[in-house]
Amino acid sequence: MKTTIATIVLLLVPGTTLAHRLDEYLQGTLISVEKDRMHAEITLTPGVAVLPIVLAEIDTNADGVVSDNEQRAYAARLMRDLSLTIDGHPLTPELVSVRFPRMDLIKSGLGGIRVEFQAALPRGGASRRLVFENRHQSKIGAYLVNCLVPRDPNVQVAAQRRNYSQSLYELDYIQAGVRSEAFSWWSGDRAWLGTVALLLLARFGLQLHKRAAACR
């Protein structure tokens, strides 16, 4: 994920550490949001004890070499295990890149597989909620999720919530300068129709008032 030094400021969970046990498949996700797009990068680091399980899914022909086709196939399997929604609406993430370290680094538990993806965001209101869920290798997975400080000063993180395992993550953020959906509904032609409706309602009320006065 291309970011400047200033944006790599994490809104960290207190007590979070990058150390992981040998029998876990650490999957750390960094998320960034903009007004019309979200980006994410997952770094997957298998512990030595679970490496055979992970390699069986990656090096499918067991030749000790991870080809470009195997890299892309593994990234596609990972993407199928992820889900994203914005304001309750599902998103369709697209793969941007996948990078594998040298095999010796993977086998030593030091090499992280990096998978970057993004998704276009539909228009929404000033307050938005992004929900991310990672179900990849859930039996051995250990998950971490954080967000980057938005580069756009008009986008502000409001709250973050995670379940105990951090496989489920919710991000609330606010967009300055975005009209609410209620205001947008009354814009343009709908605003004209709304004005006409209010005038008709006022005229109807005036007629009722005159009839009531005449009956007294």
DSSP 36-97: SEEEEEEEEEE-GGGHHHHHHHHSTT-SS---HHHHHHHHHHHHHTEEEEETTEE---EEEE
Q: Which is more confident, 149 or 108?
A: 149
For the chain, the average pLDDT equals 83
Each residue of 37-85: pLDDT tens digit?
999 999 999 999 999 999 999 999 988 889 999 999 999 999 999 999 9
User: What is the spatial distance between Cα 84 and Cα 203, in angstroms, rounded to a whole number?
Assistant: 49
| Beta-strand runs (E) in 141-214 | 141-147, 155-162, 168-175
- Is pLDDT above 70 for 116? yes
Domain spans, the chain? 5-175, 186-214
